[in-house]
Chains A and B, each alone.
Chain A
Amino acid sequence: MSASNNNDSVGLVTPQTAVFDEPLELACGRHLANYELVYETYGKLNQERSNAVLICHALSGHHHAAGYHHADDKKAGWWNECIGPGKPIDTNRFFVVSLNNLGGCHGSTGPSSSNPETGKSWGPDFPSLRARDWVNSQARLADLLEIGCWAAVIGGSLGGMQAMRWALMYPERIKHCVVIASAIKLSAQNIAFNEIARQAIVSDPNFNNGNYLDHNTIPDKGLALARMVGHITYLSDHAMASKFGRDLRSGTLETGTDDDIEFQVESYLRHQGSQFSGSFDANTYILMTRALDYFDLAREYNHDPVQAFEQAKCSFLVVSFSTDWRFSPQRSREIVDALIAANRPVSYAEIEASEGHDAFLLPIPRYLEVFAAYMKRVGGSL
């Protein structure tokens, strides 16, 4: 489906750039003197400026969540299934803001941007970021767009963490918080997978301690490997079995033959890895995975998620997927249980889906129904 023949799409969109000159204090103790955020908007802001919805992206996401950049684009934005006219985040009703997070590599200020103090790219010297830094920078973007209060802040995975952080940091500026396939904090197993990804990157000889741009190289092999590991964890055993099984792409396992053998799953993973390494910055990947690892919603609330959520004033929708083992339903239930104990309004659905963590990006009918039903409620209370 391309941009021109799709009437449930937001159609052609043009990214915009917001420039900020007021320094942003960061959780790491450093600050950014100035920075840029690239964002897109879909739908129209109403007169009361009350129908704005913020989309927070996950690890490898960006601002292009819906629609198409060019009339001949084959692929729509990464959450096109959920954002558009008549879709759960209905652009006939909502004004949707989707940005590339600070530290990203799709136009917002990040490690591959130029450091004004040196004139060279930041590289590994770019300040480390936490989810709260993203939330603060998103609040600045809201100020710029004159959005006093979001009708909803919505995110999956790492995006869900930002949405929850919004609810605690700016309780007066968010009415609904939608947290999909997320967690209060990562498990040791999750951190371990992220560390393998980082090690794959830093072990690439082209990494040059992160200064690869100065050497006119990129650690594409390491980044591809990092993505391959990550990708496995986003799929379920069942999803991989039904997509690839043990099918061979080339060669044969007949006895008496000694061909080169390639399984379909090998070829698929390599393809995913190389595609990703051509379009993503290695330092950003390291920065984002660290932000994921460091996130702990309740850290400054005596490590008590109930105390943390007592700061919130919004309503919550929490959604998980049955075969997601990276952010399992159990992690989502921890969020729900803390919200119940904090006596905060919450709805929870556990969607039966075979696709693993990736399910949150896919058009699973029951998921879209629940999401749409909740967003209808959000729209009804504008």
Chain B
Amino acid sequence: MRLDLAHIQRWITPGSRVLDLGCGDGEFLQMLESQRQVNGLGLEIDAENITAAISRGLNILEQDMDKSLANFPDQSFDTVIMAHALQVLHHPDRVLEEMLRIGRECVVTFPNFGHWRCRWHLGTRGKMPQSKFMPYSWYDTPNIHFCTVKDFESLCGEKGIRILARETVGNSKRKPLLASRWPNLFATTAIYHISR
């Protein structure tokens, strides 16, 4: 399992109602259903992913979270998850607000653009970073709103969002300390458990 998903799973109360925004083919949601017995609902816009998720027996809605989430009632889910989608949204701040309106708690994960490799790439080559993790060229990428750990935490501060917990995934599995001690420099993925 991807490390970020392992962290998220620990924050999910068994039997709770979970909304997974950008659930892909539903692999993670299915795991939450089998291991945490959640009442899950996924949102997705990719046709193949939707069919795959329905085949898994999941409840999936074809809906673009970037356009609107207004159809979800206030506090209608225990947890709203958005894994690795923040950076592709046109309005990440508005979607965050909506998540916190719909869910009592939320989980957000994103790639940390403040990672030293990004800085090194930009600093030494003077070009937008490209790597296995961020394989796209700057002009043709779904990732239109990269941010750093610090950026995200300042946004939370501005919006009065409580950070319940933060986990990080670094480059080296043997040295997780680096990423947790200096996340803005060493975390490749940041994982936040937040609420109002």
Contacts and interface: CB of A to CB of B under 8 A. Distances in A.
Interface in A322-356: 333, 336-337, 340-341, 343, 345-350
Interface stretch (A97-105, A221-229, A371-379): A371-379
A340 B41 CA distance: 9
A152 to B, nearest CB: 14
The winner among B52, B71, B72 for most chain A CB atoms within 10 A is B71
A44 interface: no
Interface residues of A, number: 23
Interface string B60-71: 111100000001
Name which of A340, A341, A366 has the most chain B CB atoms within 10 A of its CB: A340
Contacts of A376: 55
A340 B77 CA distance: 10
A380 interface: yes
B62 A349 contact: yes
Given A333-B71, A337-B71, A340-B41, A347 B17 contact: no
B54 A340 contact: no
Nearest to A369: B51
A187 B87 CA distance: 39
Contacts of A374: 54
Given A343-B17, A373-B55, A377-B55, A336 B47 contact: no
Contacts of A345: 59
B90 to A, nearest CB: 20
A315 interface: yes
Given A333-B71, A341-B76, A366-B47, A348 B61 contact: yes
B61 A336 contact: yes
Contact of A377 (B41, B52, B57): B57
Contacts of B63: 348
A265 interface: no
Interface residues of B, number: 20
Contacts of A13: none
Contacts of B72: 340
B49 to A, nearest CB: 11
A345 B51 CA distance: 16
Given A341-B73, A341-B76, A343-B17, A373 B51 contact: yes
B50 interface: yes
Interface in A175-196: none
Interface in B143-175: none
Given A347-B59, A366-B47, A373 B76 contact: no
Contact of A315 (B51, B59, B71): B59
A333 B58 CA distance: 18
A370 B71 contact: no
Interface string B73-92: 10010000000000000000
B61 A380 contact: no
- Chain A CB count within 10 A is highest, among B17, B54, B60, for B54
A373 B71 contact: no
A369 B17 CA distance: 28
B48 to A, nearest CB: 9
A370 B54 contact: yes
B62 A348 contact: yes
Contacts of B17: 343
A380 B57 CA distance: 9
A337 B58 CA distance: 17
A380 B71 CA distance: 30
A348 B62 CA distance: 6
B113 to A, nearest CB: 33
A270 B60 CA distance: 42
A94 B128 CA distance: 55
Contact of A350 (B41, B51, B58, B62): B62
B47 A347 contact: no
A93 to B, nearest CB: 15
A202 to B, nearest CB: 41
A347 B43 CA distance: 10
Nearest to B71: A337
Nearest to B47: A366
Nearest to A341: B73
Which of B55, B62, B73, B76 has the most C-beta atoms of chain A within 10 angstroms of its own C-beta? B62
10 contacts: A337-B71, A340-B71, A340-B76, A347-B59, A347-B60, A348-B62, A373-B55, A374-B54, A376-B55, A377-B55
Given A340-B71, A349-B50, 16 more contacts: A333-B71, A340-B61, A340-B72, A340-B73, A340-B76, A341-B76, A343-B17, A343-B39, A347-B58, A348-B63, A349-B54, A370-B51, A373-B55, A374-B54, A377-B54, A377-B57
